[in-house]
Structure 1
Amino acid sequence: MRLGIATLIIAYVLSQFYRAFLAVMTPALKADLGATPEDLAQASGAWFLFFALMQIPVGWGLDNIGPRKVTAALLALGGGGGAAVFAMASSPDHILYAMMLIGIGCSPVLMASYYIFARIYPPAVFATLAGMVIGIGSLGNIAGALPMALAVEQFGWRACLWAMAVVTVLVAASIMLAVDNPPKLVAEDGAPKGSVLDLLKMPALWAIFPIMLVNYTAAAGLRGSWAGPYLRDVYGLDTAGIGWATMAIAVAMVIGSFAYGPLDRVFRTRKWVIFPGNMIAVALVFLLWAAPNAGVWQAASIMAAIGLFGASYPLIIAHARSFVPPHLIGRGVTLMNMFGIGGVGISQYASAGVFRMAQGPDVAVTAPYQAVFLFFAVPALICCLLYLLSEDRLG
C-alpha cells in the first residue's frame, strides 16, 4: 500500500500543477492566442467546476469500484487527454475545453488517497496524513510557478504541455499497477449502503459546508488566475517575475498544509484551529483590497500569507470526516471536496465577470483587481462566521 500511496501522491503533484500553471503562462497565451485575464480565469474556473461535479460519481466509484481503476482511468483519459488538447490549442476556447478535461482527470486523485487513509488508519492521524499529501503534492503548485515559467521561455508552452500529457499517462499507468483497493465495507446492521442523501441529512455537516466552500477560493484564485495578470498590469512583471511571486505563494501553501495537519492533536481541537486561521486569511485578502499598489514585495508577501493561513483544507476535511459513518467514507470525503473545489470554480467564473464589470476608460488599473479581491473577501468572512455554529469533534 505504501507504493500505491506514493503513486497517488505523485498524481496529486500533477493535480496541483494543473490547477495553478495558467498564471505564469499569461503573457505567452496572450501573445499566441489572444487570451485575456477573463479567458484564463474562466478556464481555471472550468477546471475546478468540472472537478467538483465529478465528486459525486467519484465518491460512488471509490465505495463500489475502488480507488485503483477509478483514478487510473480518469487520470489517463481526462488528464493526459486534456493536456494534449491544450498543447494543440489555437484559441482561448480550446484552453477552456482542455481545462474541463483535465479537471475531470484530476478529480479522483486526492480523494483516492483520503479514502485509503480513512479505511486503514486511525481517525486521530487522518488530518496529519491528509496534510502530508497536500503538502507533498503542493510541489506541483511550486512546479507550476517559476519552473514552468522558465520551461515555457526555454521550450515554448506547447512542448511543455505535450511533455505533461506523456507524464500524466505514465503516472496513471503506475497507479493501475501499484494501488491496492481496501476491502469493501457494508453498513453494520446489514441495511442498504446508503447514499449522499444520508450525508446531506446530517446537521453537523451543514455547519461545516460554508467554510469548506470558501476556504480555498482566495488562495486558489490568486495562485491559479489573478496573481499573474495583477502583477503584470500593476507592477509590470514579466513571466519570470510572475514565476518568482507565484512560487512564493506555492511554498507558503506547502508550509501551511504541513503545519495545519497535526495542530488538532496539539491543541485538542479542530474548530478553534480552523476558525482563527481562516479569519487571518480573510483579513489579509481585505488588506490586499485596501492597498493594491503598496509595492510589489508587499503584494507578493500578502498573497503568500493568504496561501499560508488559508491552507486548513485537510483539517476541515478531517473535521467533517469525524461525523461520517465508515461505509460512506468515500462519498463523505468527496462530498466535502465537491464543496471546496466547487466553491473555487464558481468564484473563478464569477470573478471574471466582476473583473470585466469593474473595467472602464477612466478607472485606475488597480480597480478591477480590487473588485476581485473584495469579491473573494466578503463571502469568506460571512462563511467563516457561519462556521461558528459547528460542533467541534476530534473522533
Structure 2
Amino acid sequence: MNPNAAPKPAQRSGDTAPRSRTSRFFRFFRFSHGSASAAAMLVALASAFALSQAFRTVGAMMATPLTGYFGLTPQQLGIWAGTFHFAFGIMQLAMGVSIDMFGVRRTVLTAFPLAVAGAVLCAMAPNYHALLLGQALIGVGCAPAFLACTVFIARHFDASRFTAMSGLVMSMAGLGIVFTGTPLALLIEAASWRAGYAVLAGFAVLSWLVIFWRVREPARAVDPESAQAAPAERQSLRKAVRELLPLFAMPHTLGLICFACVSYAAFITLRGLWLGPVLHDRHGLSLVSSGNVALVMTVAGMISPALFGRMDPGGARRARWMMGCALAAALMFATMALTHSSAVDIGLPIAYGLLSGYSVLQYAYTKTSYPAAMTGRAMALLNMAMFLGVSLMQWTTGVAASWAVAHGTEPFRAVFLTIAGMLAAGTFAFLVLPRAHVPARPGA
C-alpha cells in the first residue's frame, strides 16, 4: 500500500476514533500528498539539526575546563570553537549538491556518522590537535542538518507552509542549545568535559538510527521530457560554483555578505564561546550558575526569531531595522567591554538573546533581493557567509584576547570590543555599499 496515497473518505472516517488526538496534531503538518508521515520524518531530521546546534554551542560551558586541562591560550580556544563553523561553512555547497543528486536521507545518513566519530575523538582526545580534528569532523558531519530540513519542507509540504514549518524546525532545534546550558554544566561538574562529548555522541547515534528508521523520501512526480534531459543537466559541484558567480555580478551582494558575516556570528561567539568564561573568570560564577544564564539567554534567543518574523516591516524599512538592531548589539558589546558589572554581563546577554532574532530578517531581505530563479543560490551563499563569519569572529576574538593578555589588558574587554567593532564594520559596509531595491510590504 502506498503510504503517500490520500486516504479515501471511508478510511478517514474509520480512523478517526483510534487516532483522534494524533490526527489533530498532524493536521498542521499536512503533507503535499496527504500523508501525515511527513511530520515524523521532519522531526527525525530535526533531531540531527538539534544536535548540530548543541555541538556549535558547547564552547560556552567547555571553554573553562578545556583551558584548564590542555592549558589553552585564548587564541587556541578561538581556533577550537571556530574549526566547527569553518568546516560546516565550507561544506554547505557540497552538501547542497549531494542533496540534489542523492536526496536528503542518503546525504544525512552518510555525513552524520562523521559527527559521531568527531565527538568520540573529542571525548578521547589526548591533545589539542586531536580536539581540533574532532571539531572539524563534527562540523562536516553536521553540515547537511539544517539544509536537509529546509529542502525536505520545500519538497514535501505545501509552499504556503514553508515559513511556518521552518520556524517550527528552528524551535525544535533550539532544544540542542538548551542542552548546552545548565544540563551540560551539571554534567561537566558531575563528571568531566569528556562526558559532555560522550553524551552528545550517544545522542547523535540515536538521531542517526531514528533517521534511518523513519525517513523515506517519496518519489516526486517527474515530467518524462525533463527526466530524459536529466543526465545532461545533473548537478555537480563545479556547476554549483559556476551558478554562484552571477550573484557577485549584482552590486548589492557584497554588502549583504559583509552584514551576514557578522550578524549571526556575534550571537554564536558570545553564547557558544565567551559567555561561560566571562562569567566564571570575571565574576567568579560557578559553571552551573553560568549555565543558568546561558539557558535563559537561549530561551530568549528561541523566542526572538518568531517575534521578528511577526514584526517584519518589509520593504526598505527591513534593511533599516537590520542595521539598527546590529548597531544596538554593537553598543551592548561595547558596554560589556567597558564595564565590569555582573548585572551588565548577565542582563545584557539575555537582552541580546531577545534582540538576536533580527538576523532572520536577512532571509526575507535575500528572498526579495534576487530573481526567483536565483533565490536558492542566494540562500546558499547567505548560509555560507553566516557560518564562515562565525569561524572568522571566533578566531579573531581569540587572537584579540591573546594579544590583550600579552599586553597586560583584560582579555574580555578586547573580545567584546572586537565583536562590537566587527558588527559596526559589517553594518557600515551594508549601509554604504549598494543595497537591493525591494518591494513594499505586500511583495515582501
TM-score class normalised by the smaller sequence: 0.7 to 0.9
Where does residue 383 of structure 1 map in the other structure?
Answer: 426
Structure 1 position 322, deviation (Å): 4.4
Which residue of 231, 255, 264 corresponds with 1:216? 264
The change in CA–CA distance for 1:159 and 1:140 in structure 2 (over 3 A counts) is same
Cross-structure match for 2:380: 334
1:9 and 2:46 correspond? yes
Greater shift after overlay, 89-98 or 277-286?
Answer: 277-286
Residue equivalent to 1:162: 198
Q: In the alignment, what sits opposite 1:72?
A: 109
Equivalent in the alignment of 1:51: 88
**Aligned partners of 2:329 and 2:420 also within 8 Å:** no
How does 1:14-93 map onto structure 2 within 5 Å? 14-76=51-113, 78-93=114-129
Q: Which of the pair has the greater relative contact order for Cα pairs under 8 Å at 6+ separation? A: 1
Q: Deviations over 1:5-47 (max 9, x none)?
A: 1112221111111111122123332343333443322111001
Superposition pairs of residues 255-266 of structure 1, within 5 angstroms: 255-264=303-312
Sort the Cα spacing of 1:185 and 1:149 in 2 relative to 1 into closer, same or farther, 3 A: farther
State how far apart, in whole Å, the 1-side matches of 2:385 and 2:149 are. Answer: 18
Verify: 1:115 aligned to 2:161, yes or no. Answer: no
User: Match of 1:311?
Assistant: 357
Q: How does 1:357-372 map to 2 (within 5 A)?
A: 357-360=403-406, 362-363=408-409, 367-372=410-415
Instruction: Work out the CA distance in 2 between the residues paired with 1:120 and 1:324.
Output: 24
- Tell whether 2:142 aligns with 1:106: yes
Paired residues, what number?
Answer: 386
Provide the C-alpha distance between the structure 1 equivalents of 2:106 and 2:213, rounded to a whole number of angstroms. 10
User: C-alpha offsets along residues 202-246 of structure 1, whole Å, 9 cap, x if unaligned?
Assistant: 325444222211111211111111112222221112211221222
Following the alignment from structure 2 to structure 1, what is the Cα–Cα distance between the partners of residues 186 and 302?
21
Quick one: which of 301, 312, 326 aligns to 2:347?
301
Distance 1:127 1:390 in 2: 22
RMSD after superposition: 2.8
Is 1:241 paired with 2:286?
Answer: no
Aligned pair partner of 1:230 in 265, 275, 278: 278
Q: Judging changes above 3 Å, is the alpha-carbon distance between structure 1 residues 253 and 184 closer, same or farther for their aligned structure 2 residues?
A: farther
Shift of 1:151: 1.1
Task: Give the distance between the partners of 1:117 and 1:199, measured in 2 at CA.
Answer: 23
- Of the structure 1 ranges 248-257 and 267-276, higher mean CA displacement relative to structure 2 is found in 267-276
Give structure 2 stretches of 5+ with no counterpart: 1-37
The letter of the residue matching 2:323 is: F
Deviation at 1:84, TM superposition (A): 0.3
Task: Judge conservation of contact 1:24–1:228 (CA < 8 Å) in 2.
Answer: yes
Task: Report the identity percentage.
Answer: 26
With over 3 angstroms needed to count, the CA separation of the structure-2 counterparts of 1:106 and 1:147, relative to structure 1, is: same
Q: CA deviation at 1:184?
A: 8.5
What is the identity, as a one-letter code, of the residue corresponding to 2:89?
Answer: A
Which residue, out of 344, 350, 356, partners 2:396? Answer: 350
Other structure's SS at 1:347 match: helix
C-alpha distance in structure 1 between counterparts of 2:424 and 2:417, whole Å:
11
Counterparts of 1:205 and 1:119, CA distance in 2: 27
TM value normalised by structure 1: 0.87
Q: Could you tell me which amino acid in structure 2 is paired with residue 20 of structure 1?
A: T
Shift of 1:273: 4.3
The normalised TM-score by structure 2 is: 0.79
Shift of 1:282: 2.4
2:178 pairs, out of 116, 134, 142, with 142
What secondary structure is seen at the aligned counterpart in 1 of 2:57?
helix
The 2-side partners of 1:328 and 1:179 are apart by 29
| 3-state SS in 2 of match to 1:81 | helix
Alignment match of 2:187 (pick from 144, 151, 165) = 151
CA distance in 1 between partners of 2:191 and 2:197 (Å) = 10
Asked whether the equivalents of residues 123 and 322 of structure 1 are also in contact (C-alpha less than 8 Å), the reply is no
Q: State whether residues 369 and 437 of structure 2, in contact with CA within 8 Å, keep that contact through their aligned partners in structure 1.
A: no
Structure 1: stretches of 5+ with no match in the other structure: none
